[in-house]
Amino acid sequence: MTRCGLVDLFGRRVSYLRLSVTDRCDLRCVYCMAEDMAFVPRNQLLTLEELDRLASAFVARGVAKIRLTGGEPLVRKGLMELVSSLSRHLAARRLKELTLTTNGSLLARHADGLARAGVRRVNVSLDTLDASRFRALTRRGTLGVVMEGLLAAQEAGLKVKLNAVALKGSTEDEIHDLIAFAHGRGMDLTLIETMPLGDVGADRTDQYLSLATLRRTIETRWTLTDTADRSGGPARYARVAETGGRIGFITPLTHSFCETCNRVRVSATGVLYTCLGQEDQVDLRAPLRACEGDEALHAAIDAGIRAKPRGHDFAIARNGAPALARHMSVLGG
């Protein structure tokens, strides 16, 4: 049965699904989580088979890119089975790209398997090149482990893009080194403004660094030329003349990118969120489990797409409080 594509009330076609497989993570990054987190009980998560069925329903509706997220997706037991199963859509050319975002801590262990399953690129979160600062920002991580993961990914043939959250008092000090490191190894670097999601035990105003300010710092050393490049997400890219590499800028606070939004997110418990910065949600788990057929599931997806808001309204509160109670780890950003 041929199904129509997913187009919201503002004429935006949804072609990109960010699918969370867990809200758990082996790190506790200061902009993402509180140090003591309460995670969803495992028995409330979708099974691997349900995740596959749900993702496949979106593929049937024209979604061409799936990004697996977390939390940290590689901590989900059996994840590689899901990746291998979803790769059938790549082989059938129903899906153009299957990828994931990771903190890199388990990447060395899984890089070869990801490549064999048809994954061609990964995004790796890396906010600092300083081992002590990395430990402080992640509250428990080891920089060397992530570096091993980056090397393993590239040796497996995976294209790597680094993601760095812009943090006041940290990123300004290291931005030139981050650019040189990434571009010297053939990796793009994307910078992201910190988003006011969830109580992380810190004042957001102490963390926030606008990318407009950071770009001015970058341009004291590097020559940037804006490009029309797009990677399927919200980043706007500039080419660095001195390296030939790219820097992406994701600016949810200083410049909305909602007019071209092509993506939706589904949590590991099967909740569809059509906007990261809003609480609008549709339960997909109930219709997924209600019957063997997918008619009810597709009806629920349609209801969510029809309710997709025009955009988000992120703002850092004067008291540093989060804009939404939901933590970043629920949907992976």
User: What is the H or E stretch that residue 136 is in?
Assistant: helix 131-138
Tell me the binding residues for S-adenosyl-L-methionine: 31, 71, 125, 195
At residue 160, what are phi and psi to the nearest 5 degrees?
-115, 135
- Is a pLDDT exceeding 70 seen at residue 1? no
Mean pLDDT confidence for 19-40: 90
User: Closest Cα to residue 29, out of 129, 165, 177, 153?
Assistant: 165
pLDDT in the model for residue 199: 52
- Is a pLDDT exceeding 70 seen at residue 52? yes
Given the candidates 3.40.190.10, 3.30.70.100, 3.10.129.10, 3.20.20.70, the CATH classification of the domain at 16-316 is 3.20.20.70
pLDDT digits (tens, 9 = 90+) for 141-172: 999 999 999 999 999 999 999 999 999 999 99
Tell me the binding residues for GTP: 18, 67, 101, 161, 263-265
Positive or negative torsion for Cα 10, 293, 68, 38: positive
pTM comes to: 0.90
User: Closest Cα to residue 188, out of 145, 154, 146?
Assistant: 154
Matching residue, tokens 């893009």: 161
- Is a pLDDT exceeding 50 seen at residue 320? no
pLDDT in the model for residue 322: 44
Tell me the binding residues for [4Fe-4S] cluster: 25, 29, 32, 258, 261, 275
- First-to-last C-alpha distance (Å) of the chain: 33
Beta bridge partners of 124: 102, 162
pLDDT digits (tens, 9 = 90+) for 278-308: 778 899 999 999 988 999 999 999 999 999 9
- Is a pLDDT exceeding 60 seen at residue 226? yes
Distance of alpha carbon 33 from alpha carbon 232, whole angstroms: 26
pLDDT digits (tens, 9 = 90+) for 233-281: 778 999 999 999 999 999 865 555 677 789 999 999 999 999 876 778 8
Name the packing angle between helices 131-138 and 143-155 (round to 10°): 100
Residue 71: asked if its preceding bond is cis (omega within 30°), the reply is yes
Tell me the binding residues: 18, 25, 29, 31-32, 67, 71, 101, 125, 161, 195, 258, 261, 263-265, 275
Rg, the chain, Cα only: 19
Average pLDDT over all residues of the chain: 89
Beta bridge partners of 272: 266, 282
Structure tokens at 10: 């503002």
The domain locations on the chain are: 16-316
Find how far residue 234's CA is from the centre of its chain. 11
DSSP state of 212: H
